A and B are shown apart, each in its own frame.
Chain A
Amino acid sequence: MIYWNSVGEFFAMGGYGFYVWGSFGACAAALIVEPLLLAKRRSEVLRSLQRELSIKDDLQ
């Protein structure tokens, strides 16, 4: 069922390894970095909201 005969053959991609892995690698990197950036954005806004509210509570 699997097309490749060896792991080496799979990575070599018939001599197109640089182009194929350059494409798949860039996509994988982008799809991993974007959710990490969004998680950071969320935690930053939550932290600043918590700080704001605790200051408000102190004033009351």
Chain B
Amino acid sequence: MRPLITWKYASPQHFYPLAGKLIPWFVALTLIFGAWGLWLGLLVAPTDAQQGEGYRIIFVHVAASWMSMFLYVVMAFWAGVGLGFNTRLSSMMASAIAPTGAMFAFLSLWTGALWGKPMWGTWWVWDARLTSELILFFLYLGFIALQAAIDDPRRADKAGAILALVGVINVPIIYFSVMWWNTLHQGASVSLTKAPSMARTMLLGMLLVALCFWMYSIVMTLLRVRAIMLERERHTEWVANLKEVRP
């Protein structure tokens, strides 16, 4: 009988070709969700009564912020699995996610500044939501820098994993900051418990851009993890026998 879950793909040797096959599908999904979301957000959605057309920043700001937090949790999960079970692919996944997560944290801060200036009159305030998101950005950079500073990849994985796991505490702080502290930042745009307060088109546009960023992150992670596998396993038989290496 075949096992229900196959562990075959936990080895770089087998995951490498699988990742290669998955990439085009996720590229297609990224483009479909992106085109549909931008169409709704930029061309179809009506204006906002309070913020005029400036509100349209929401379509990229919320999606980038969600991804920055979600990717951190996924990164910490794989780093933790790698630390606990000593599985090398898990640690490679964590390293592959970090730069994309850092990029989304940066985009969240950048688009937030560009939204804050016209609406609040300032690019930046040291309030709970903004500061905790900035810390998230620094956690990503710290993870990347720490791993880059340690020559032995397995030791770099372990040190990075500890940093990533400690930093997880910051994610709920970001999420609940608008409830726990008095902040300039508005409350959650989407709530699972309350009826949506936004127009249907706006909500749909925002979710589609978020899906686009999600699929995009999968593509980047798979591309980067494939590069990491080649770099780290360069002296193995399976890498030497790849057709792209030895045509």
Contact = CB atoms under 8 A, between A and B. Distances in A.
Contact of A23 (B44, B114, B219): B114
A-side interface mostly: helix
Given A26-B110, A53-B240, A3 B45 contact: yes
Contact of A42 (B43, B219, B223): B223
B226 A42 contact: yes
A59 interface: no
B245 A20 contact: no
A27 interface: yes
B224 A38 contact: yes
B-side interface mostly: helix
A3 B227 contact: no
Interface residues of B, number: 40
Interface of A: 1-4, 10, 13-16, 18-20, 22-24, 26-27, 30-31, 34-35, 38-39, 41-42, 45-46, 48-50, 52-53
Interface of B: 42-47, 52-54, 56-57, 60-61, 64, 99-100, 103, 106-107, 110-111, 114-115, 117-118, 216, 219-220, 223-224, 226-227, 230-231, 234, 239-240, 244-246
